[in-house]
Amino acid sequence: MLGRVLHPLDRRQQSLLLTAMSFAGSQANELWQFLPDEDAVALQEKAQKLEEIPREKRVSLMVRELKGLMSFRAVKGLDGVEPSWLAAGFKGESPRVIAVVLAYLPSSLSRQIVSRLPENVQRSLPPREALKNVPMEVIKLVRSRFDQKFIVMPLERDLTDMGFDDVVLLTAKELIVLVRSIGADEIACAFLAVGKRALAEFLSKLAPEDGEELLAAVRRADVKDSMELKSAQAFLGKVLTAGPSPRGGGASGALPRAAANSSGMAFSNTEELFQKAGLYRLARAVSVADAVAIRQLVQRFPRAHGRLLLDYLERVRERELDHDGVLRLRDQILTALVNLSRRGKVDARYGSVDTRFEAR
């Protein structure tokens, strides 16, 4: 609920505001004078908004929001980064440098990274025994330099409740499942605007199971979430540039090589269509997040998906967004995650805890 009040403060400013208000109450206003002018003005304005909420309700809301922020304290480490990003991070590095970094990563992660390296690099990697005499100072320096290529990742935690920001805890496979599901919702919102005839024509080209999924998404879509006609036509014009394969796509969730390099949204099969539409929907939902949170989420995806997400985010930010609509969209994606969890498509824990909605 506080998401609308706290926007567009970054995570640091939100934590500072909520901590001061929770412990100092109305006296927190005396603290703003010690902050830089930019922070002071922003926090004072938001503090006034918070004080408009009745105290008995305000305190519990602030504590709950603060707990959510504190649970995302990040630590330096690469375990949470999807291996395709790590493999790409080794581009241009010598086999010996790569081997030094790999030697101090979990063996399962190292194997995944090595399998993604060019074959000539794999063959040139020295064995672990050859690294025994490398000074620890050198190892730390090499590892530190490599770590700096990536943003710090959030700590895993036991979920007692869940908000939209917790999407970053999903594995790469779970994120692909979620994106596939919300892709149908994004396409449905476009067809709400262009009409039933266009929808019927498109459904006739899909495999039966894909058509049923899209039709179900259209039926559950809220008319207030339908796109403007011109936006819908432009969106569908991009995603439908190439007709879908009658048999749909594969189940692996992998995007074609061209997808990572293409700025368009044309697709070669139904699976690719749903994934790209889902990434576009997710880009709209994270457009109000801070840079660190966005980068953390991007690094959880396979690199092809993550790069597309960043590309779509740039497009989304080129036009003015309805903030209330974005918060509603974040709630819808959170609901989709809960439903997927309860259907056994992703980890059961996401469907068994309380949800923190932002627009309700």
Q: Which residue has the tokens 């903030």?
A: 323
Q: Which residue has the tokens 């943003």?
A: 151
pLDDT at 247: 38
Is residue 135 helix, strand or coil? coil
Give me the chain's average pLDDT, please: 83
Contact predicate 97/139, CB 8 Å: no
Q: Which two tokens stand for residue 272?
A: 């690719």
Share of the chain above pLDDT 70, in %: 86
The helix (run of H) or strand (run of E) holding residue 74 is strand 74-75
Q: Residue 70 contacts by C-beta under 8 Å, 6 or more apart in sequence? A: 15
Question: pLDDT band for position 338 (50/70/90)?
Answer: very high
> Where is pLDDT greater, at 241 or 96?
96
Question: pLDDT band for position 336 (50/70/90)?
Answer: very high
Q: How far apart are CA 299 and CA 256, in angstroms?
A: 19
pLDDT at 27: 76
Question: pLDDT band for position 258 (50/70/90)?
Answer: very low
Contact predicate 89/118, CB 8 Å: no
pTM score = 0.73
pLDDT at 268: 55
Q: Residue 125: exposed, middle, or buried by beta-carbon count in 10 A (0-12, 13-18, 19+)?
A: middle
Q: Residue 119 contacts by C-beta under 8 Å, 6 or more apart in sequence? A: none
Contact predicate 334/357, CB 8 Å: yes
Taking 3-state DSSP, the helix, strand and coil percentages for the chain, each rounded to the nearest 5, stand at: 65, 5, 30
pLDDT at 267: 52
Mean pLDDT of the 207-224 span: 88
